[in-house]
């Protein structure tokens, strides 16, 4: 039998699909957040985002509350695939490292504590 690779991630991951809004140097875009942890997340996006680029990610709750964090693009993923109907499909995403959280619009960013595990 095959041996499973050892998990190297140290933080718990929340594997849920949710809408996020990304603010980049070029404007705002909508993305689909997946697989978030205390230190980062993966977001499916339509447009390419540059490696190392800093951007803001805003989560909007159903009750109207919002939370924004400053992130850095750590990696990009592009996938091309065939669909059942024979057409070509594709998907693109970015791996983001969370650098800081915004507390209020007029307040400075709250830096992420590297040792603290958030649940």
State the pLDDT at residue 11.
57
Q: Read off the pLDDT of residues 13-70 as tens digits, 9 standing for 90 and up.
A: 666 788 999 999 889 999 999 888 888 999 999 888 899 999 999 988 788 888 899 9
Tokens of 107: 């307040």
Domain ranges of the chain: 13-102
Model-wide pTM > 0.75: no
Domain 13-102 has CATH 2.40.10.220: yes
């Amino acid at each position: 039998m095959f041996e499973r690779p050892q998990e190297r991630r140290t933080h718990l991951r929340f594997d849920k699909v949710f809408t996020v809004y990304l603010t980049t140097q070029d404007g705002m875009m909508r993305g689909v957040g997946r697989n978030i942890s205390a230190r980062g997340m993966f977001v499916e996006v339509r447009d390419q985002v540059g490696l190392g680029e800093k951007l803001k990610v805003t989560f909007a709750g159903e009750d109207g509350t919002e939370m924004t964090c400053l992130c850095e693009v750590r990696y990009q993923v592009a996938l091309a695939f065939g669909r059942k109907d024979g057409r070509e499909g594709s998907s693109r995403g970015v791996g983001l490292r969370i650098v800081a959280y915004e507390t209020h619009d007029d307040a400075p960013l709250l830096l992420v504590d590297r040792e603290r595990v958030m649940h």
